[in-house]
Amino acid sequence: MFFLLTSCLNNDDPKPNNPDKLTILAYLVANNNLDDDLLANIGAMYDGLAEMKEEATLLVYWDGRTAIGDNNSKHLILKYQTDGKGNINGAPALDPSCPLDDVLAEGEIVKEYDTQYSVDKDVMSQVLTDMIAKSSTTKFGLIFGSHASSWLNSIYPSRAFGQDGNGDNTMLIPDMVEALSAVNKKFEFILFDACYMGTTEVAYAFRNVCNYQLTSVMEVPAYGFPYEDFMKYLYKGNVDDYKKVCQSYIDFYKSLYSEGTSAWATVSLIDSKEMDYLASELKKEIVAHKNVLANYDTDHLQEYGRSNGPYIACDLGHMISDLNGGTIPSAFRDQLAKTILYKGCLEKARPASYAVEAMNYSGLGIYIPVEARSNWNKYFKTLDWYTASGWNEVTFSWNF
């Protein structure tokens, strides 16, 4: 059990007096085996704030196994505010070596909730609305932390995002998008600290609710993103600094690999507004090769499913190259470059099966319908992406 936090409940919503600044919201669903790791992420975010040279606010929604505060709450919002001069919440920032208990004790509890399922779309929408109301800015970035499995409606046994208790308490991507849309705020970025979210299906779904997406097409190691290294960049709110966030992720796991620790990584920065154009270019390619795709062997493509098995996502660029005799057509290549603003991967990984060939890594994965995944295929056909990308034009040689 962690030590009790000081609680300062304030029902007066702050007025937006820093319109040009950005508040980061972290939505952490940790009522699962990631509880300790996501708690540690809060500590890393705190350490990142301590390095800030400008004022900044972080709001964390916590839903975990660990109870926090005087009321032993497992559903609450914590607030951390730095003055950019070495103080957080009005006190000198704690040393990075201090116990995590102390970091949590420095958090200001601005709202507590009764027991609720954080993977319910109405709950998510309300929590995000509450977080925004507790901020004095008009711009927001969003971090999602939990288990995930791309767009899929079922996979060993998670579905899409989150696991609140057992495997049935999870969330579909369309419900997440609906929850964010209801908040009536377009987020500057969404950082997915969750597995397999760097796919065309997910990026397309979130295209209208955020400007940029920072994401991984592979599993994200339990440690997650090294927030202590890049919080100052996230608050800048521009492409060059988002690229630095991605580079920090790659550098961190490269260093772990060099030290002999288990380490792997893929990361990409996606320009959301380009996803409609990418879908249009992809549709041209799928329609032009629909006869090949009707019975397409994906085994030779770079594939990103590891411990959860194959077929989750093949590399988008590798597929287009393969369909065109080893060359990506210029129109598609140019649009891909506009969409993926940064891509990075580890070519040497531990375990070795998690290594990625950089030459075949485009920054996005794509699901290619295969006969072996009949349950996935049935749900895949309900996605907007299915029609937008042209898969509905393909008549497969097997029952689809």
Looking at the structure, tell me whether residues 324 and 259 fall in a common domain.
no
Distances (CA, A) of 214 to 91, 92, 272: 32, 31, 10
Q: What distance in Å separates the CA atoms of residue 213 and residue 102, rounded to the nearest whole number?
A: 32
Looking at the structure, tell me whether residues 142 and 259 fall in a common domain.
yes
Looking at the structure, tell me whether residues 262 and 288 fall in a common domain.
no
Is the pLDDT at 9 greater than 90? The verdict is no
Looking at the structure, tell me whether residues 244 and 382 fall in a common domain.
no
Is the pLDDT at 206 greater than 60? The verdict is yes
- pLDDT digit string (tens) for 115-131? 999 999 999 999 999 99
Looking at the structure, tell me whether residues 289 and 252 fall in a common domain.
no
398 part of a folded domain: no
| Domain count for the chain | 2
Inter-residue contact 191 to 22 (CB < 8 Å): no
pLDDT band at residue 2 under the 50/70/90 scheme: very low
The angle subtended at Cα 116 by Cα 113 and Cα 117, nearest 5°, is: 140
Looking at the structure, tell me whether residues 77 and 96 fall in a common domain.
yes
Q: What pLDDT sits at residue 157?
A: 62
E strand map for the chain: 18-30, 56-68, 73-82, 87-88, 91-92, 108-112, 137-145, 187-193, 210-215, 266-271, 314-315, 340-345, 365-366
Q: What distance in Å separates the CA atoms of residue 146 and residue 125, rounded to the nearest whole number?
A: 17
Inter-residue contact 362 to 336 (CB < 8 Å): yes
400 part of a folded domain: no
Looking at the structure, tell me whether residues 114 and 201 fall in a common domain.
yes
pLDDT band at residue 168 under the 50/70/90 scheme: confident
Q: How many CB atoms lie within 10 A of CB 330?
A: 8
- Out of 235, 255, 271, a domain closes at 271
Its domain, for residue 125, covers: 18-271
| Residues 276, 282, 287, 288, CA torsion sign | positive
Looking at the structure, tell me whether residues 72 and 154 fall in a common domain.
yes
The angle subtended at Cα 264 by Cα 228 and Cα 191, nearest 5°, is: 45
Q: pLDDT exceeding 70 applies to what percent of the chain?
A: 94
Is the pLDDT at 3 greater than 70? The verdict is no
- pLDDT digit string (tens) for 44-70? 999 999 999 999 999 999 999 999 998
Query: In sequence order, what are the residues at sequence separation of 6 or more whose Cβ sits closer than 8 angstroms to the Cβ of residue 288?
Result: none
- pLDDT digit string (tens) for 234-269? 999 899 999 999 999 999 999 999 999 999 999 999
Query: In sequence order, what are the residues at sequence separation of 6 or more whose Cβ sits closer than 8 angstroms to the Cβ of residue 206?
Result: 173, 176, 177, 180, 190, 213, 272
Q: What pLDDT sits at residue 153?
A: 84
Looking at the structure, tell me whether residues 95 and 125 fall in a common domain.
yes
Is the pLDDT at 198 greater than 90? The verdict is yes
300 part of a folded domain: yes
Query: In sequence order, what are the residues at sequence separation of 6 or more whose Cβ sits closer than 8 angstroms to the Cβ of residue 27?
Result: 61, 118, 124, 127, 128, 142, 143, 144, 145
pLDDT band at residue 73 under the 50/70/90 scheme: very high
Q: How many CB atoms lie within 10 A of CB 258?
A: 10
Q: What distance in Å separates the CA atoms of residue 202 and residue 177, rounded to the nearest whole number?
A: 10
Q: What pLDDT sits at residue 156?
A: 60
Query: In sequence order, what are the residues at sequence separation of 6 or more whose Cβ sits closer than 8 angstroms to the Cβ of residue 270?
Result: 198, 203, 212, 213, 214, 215, 339, 340, 341, 363, 364
Inter-residue contact 314 to 368 (CB < 8 Å): yes
Structure tokens at 92: 């000198």
5 part of a folded domain: no
Inter-residue contact 364 to 203 (CB < 8 Å): yes
9 part of a folded domain: no
Looking at the structure, tell me whether residues 232 and 305 fall in a common domain.
no
Pairing of strands 266-271, 340-345: antiparallel
107 part of a folded domain: yes
- pLDDT digit string (tens) for 306-318? 876 678 999 999 9
13 part of a folded domain: no
Is the pLDDT at 8 greater than 90? The verdict is no
Is the pLDDT at 43 greater than 60? The verdict is yes
**Token pair 């899409």 is at which residue?**
160
Work out the mean pLDDT of the chain and round it to a whole number.
Answer: 93
pLDDT band at residue 166 under the 50/70/90 scheme: confident
Alpha-carbon 348 to chain mean position: 23
CATH number of the CATH domain containing 160 = 3.40.50.11970
220 part of a folded domain: yes
- pLDDT digit string (tens) for 127-164? 999 999 999 999 999 999 999 999 998 766 667 999 99
- Out of 271, 299, 321, a domain closes at 271
pLDDT band at residue 167 under the 50/70/90 scheme: confident
Looking at the structure, tell me whether residues 288 and 364 fall in a common domain.
yes
- Out of 220, 238, 271, a domain closes at 271
Helix, strand and coil content of the chain, in percent to the nearest 5, comes to: 35, 25, 40
Strand, coil or helix: 92: strand
Q: What pLDDT sits at residue 308?
A: 63
Looking at the structure, tell me whether residues 227 and 349 fall in a common domain.
no
